[in-house]
């Protein structure tokens, strides 16, 4: 997966984590640690969820089915992409029955298809909607173009649409694969969305709604005014607007804009347990974890995903201990060295 433009935003995501340095605290009694967090009234075992990544059969034949099984093995919730290669019902069936799962929602231009996807997610046991708002169009991704990485055009990542009765009703009789892709291309993108569309979605479902792709504090405040339940601070992993602010750098202002009680998650650039710790210290309630688990999926399917997540959670547990934090609630901003200064 290539980044947008020169790749500057993707590099900034990592450099932002490198700029922040931890100042651990001592003698705090860390013989046992509790990684769990509460989001939307539900207790999660750790402040980590799998980020939505589309078209996963490109890297492994079982795609999202292997991912959700590996995530279940590691007890990590999954945010399923609208562009998954297996339907949301198939993924739900493959997941652990008691496992937490959210549905990432790309709002189609056909409102009837949008409603159908939301209803299906509710019926399949997904417990939150993550509306991605930073992709009114696909970013300019030279690496993807150079390698011909356009999986949707080959039918990968369309399962939630080809399995949808409302979408299929819009196909011409006898539609072949090309006709399906062309119809998907007309429906999938929705650059006309505005804030005024959000009340319709709020009325449609009682599921918590998070907006993914928020970087500006003004947008964060506006989201709250429109009844949004949570935010995901994200620049799409550097794959949308080249030159965008690093997600971690945007996090503190977004947190300040909405106050302490609104769930705020951090996506883009997270790689290690210490990264998770830094995000928590800057105001995140949890993080979305992306590319590393996809590498695990490519290498060893379900077991690869589980291994990557087990390693991350073990590192996070150790990071909490070494930073002097028995629980996630003990992670506060004073664990970070102020920018340009030193503690006294």
Catalytic residue among 20, 216, 236, 307: 236
CA distance 18 to 10: 13
CA distance 99 to 252: 30
Identify the CA nearest to 290 among candidates 97, 1, 75.
Answer: 1
Could you report how far apart the first and last alpha carbons of the chain are, in Å?
A: 43
Q: Is 60 a catalytic site residue? A: no
CA distance 264 to 261: 9
Q: Which residues contact 201 (CB under 8 A, 6 or more apart)?
A: 107, 114, 118, 129, 131, 209
CA distance 122 to 127: 7
Which active-site residues does the annotation give? Answer: 236
């Amino acid at each position: 997966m290539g980044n947008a433009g020169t790749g500057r935003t993707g590099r900034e995501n990592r450099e932002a984590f490198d700029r922040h340095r931890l100042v651990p605290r001592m003698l705090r009694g860390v013989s046992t640690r509790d990684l769990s967090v509460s989001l939307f009234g539900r207790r999660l075992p750790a402040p980590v969820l799998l980020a939505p990544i589309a078209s996963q059969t490109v890297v492994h034949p079982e795609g999202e089915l292997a991912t959700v099984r590996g995530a279940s093995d590691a007890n990590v919730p999954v945010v399923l992409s609208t562009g998954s290669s297996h339907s949301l019902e198939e993924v739900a069936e493959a997941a652990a029955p008691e496992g937490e799962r959210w549905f990432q929602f790309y709002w189609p231009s056909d409102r009837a298809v949008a409603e159908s996807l939301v209803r299906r997610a509710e019926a399949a046991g997904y417990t939150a909607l993550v509306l991605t708002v930073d992709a009114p169009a696909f970013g300019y991704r030279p690496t993807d173009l150079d390698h011909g990485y356009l999986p949707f055009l080959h039918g990968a990542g369309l399962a939630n649409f080809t399995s949808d009765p409302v979408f299929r009703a819009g196909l011409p009789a006898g539609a072949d694969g090309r006709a399906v892709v062309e119809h998907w291309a007309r429906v999938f993108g929705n650059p006309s969305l505005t804030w005024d569309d959000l009340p319709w979605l709020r009325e449609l479902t009682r599921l918590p709604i998070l907006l993914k792709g928020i970087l500006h504090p003004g947008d964060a405040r506006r989201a709250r005014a429109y009844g949004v339940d949570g935010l995901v601070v994200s620049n799409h992993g550097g794959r949308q607007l080249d030159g965008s602010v690093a997600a971690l750098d945007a996090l503190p202002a977004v947190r300040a804009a909405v106050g302490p009680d609104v769930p705020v998650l951090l996506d883009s650039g997270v790689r290690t347990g210490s990264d998770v710790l830094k995000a928590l210290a800057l105001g995140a309630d949890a993080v979305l974890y992306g590319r590393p688990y996809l590498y695990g999926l490519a290498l060893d399917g379900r077991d690869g995903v589980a291994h990557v997540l087990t390693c991350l959670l073990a590192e996070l547990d150790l990071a909490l201990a070494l930073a002097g934090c028995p629980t996630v609630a003990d992670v506060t901003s004073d664990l970070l060295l102020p920018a340009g200064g030193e503690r006294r």
